[in-house]
Amino acid sequence: MTFERLVESYRDELTAHCYRMLGSFHDAEDAVQETLVRAWRSRERYEDRGAARAWLYKIATNRCLTMIERRGRRRELPTDLTPGAPLVDTAWLEPYPDSVMESDPAQRVLAREYLELAFIASLQHLSGRQRAVLLLREVLGYHAAEVADLLDTSVAAVNSALQRARRVVDALLPGTTQQAEFAALGDDKLREVARRYASAWQAGDVDAILAMLTDDARYSMPPLAQWYEGRDGIRQFLLDGPLSLRWRFVPTVANGQVAFGTYRWDPDRSVFAAAALDLVAVRGTCIAEVVSFLTPAVFPRFGLQLDLPELT
């Protein structure tokens, strides 16, 4: 295998790693591109092709650490916004397209669990080095000594960072992952939950939507800071705005979760126009959270059109 093909074969898994580090798909792509460029430039000095993966992860991780240090702030979801943070300086988490995942089915299952939005959000509460240690040790499976070598530190420092990182992340994560919820439901029931939710929105049926929510359901819309919790709060929000409009929902997958491209009727152009990418967290057969990313420019990444015709 040529050097170019060797390093290129790691692009997808490096992109997932950089996304976990940075919380931004756009930044992750930039980090990976620079990683591959740096690897190419130093190829003459690199002799051990068998250790190419660790070498690339070292370059990528250090590039991410530099980007985190320069940014100086974590990426947020509205429900986890730092109190008092000036909104003009807020950086928001971004969704991740499932198409950019490893081709190995077994590895894709593991990748989805570690790309769920709750996990990515929890990582933002760690320092850059703690994120790197947690991901290299627990997601990628490197031994403490290997991580110490990748990060140019000691084994004791790696073990200490991992303990601190695990305490923070465990306190923030929900009781079960979305992948565990999906496995318990089964494919048919999961598809039915998604179908009912989309149908309720397309029918403008607020009672049907609310009936699918958990008591503590949350609804947020980055880059807007406000968010809503519980059926009463979400009901008022829906009636005050969204359900006065016509909608179409197209199913997709983002961050390994149920997702929809949502389209709002545009009477001036007589089309349904891209409005938001909604990531849904399920709990049993109910909806526990919706994060509606009001960034329709990301639709093509998820195989979604920007406009849809009128239903016939």
Once rounded to an integer, what is the mean pLDDT over residues 156-177? 96
Phi, psi for residue 241 in degrees, rounded to 5: -150, -75
Q: What is the pLDDT of residue 194?
A: 97
pLDDT bin (cut points 50, 70, 90) of residue 185 is very high
* pLDDT above 70 for 50: no
pLDDT bin (cut points 50, 70, 90) of residue 167 is very high
Please give the domain boundaries of the chain with CATH numbers for all domains.
Answer: 3-172 (no CATH), 184-308 (3.10.450.50)
Once rounded to an integer, what is the mean pLDDT over residues 142-154? 96
Name the residue with tokens 């009912």. 196
Least confident of 189-193, 229-233, 307-311: 307-311
Once rounded to an integer, what is the mean pLDDT over residues 210-231? 96
Q: What is the pLDDT of residue 1?
A: 56
CA dihedral 63, 43, 37, 5 (to 10 degrees): -110
Mean pLDDT for the chain overall: 91
pLDDT bin (cut points 50, 70, 90) of residue 311 is confident
* pLDDT above 90 for 206: yes
pLDDT bin (cut points 50, 70, 90) of residue 46 is low
pTM for the model stands at 0.93
Q: How far apart, in whole angstroms, are the C-alpha atoms of residue 229 and residue 227?
A: 7
| Percent of residues, the chain, with pLDDT higher than 90 | 79
State pLDDT tens for residues 79-133: 988 665 566 678 999 999 987 665 555 556 667 889 999 999 999 999 999 999 9
CB 134 within 8 A of CB 166: yes
* pLDDT above 80 for 13: yes
pLDDT bin (cut points 50, 70, 90) of residue 71 is confident
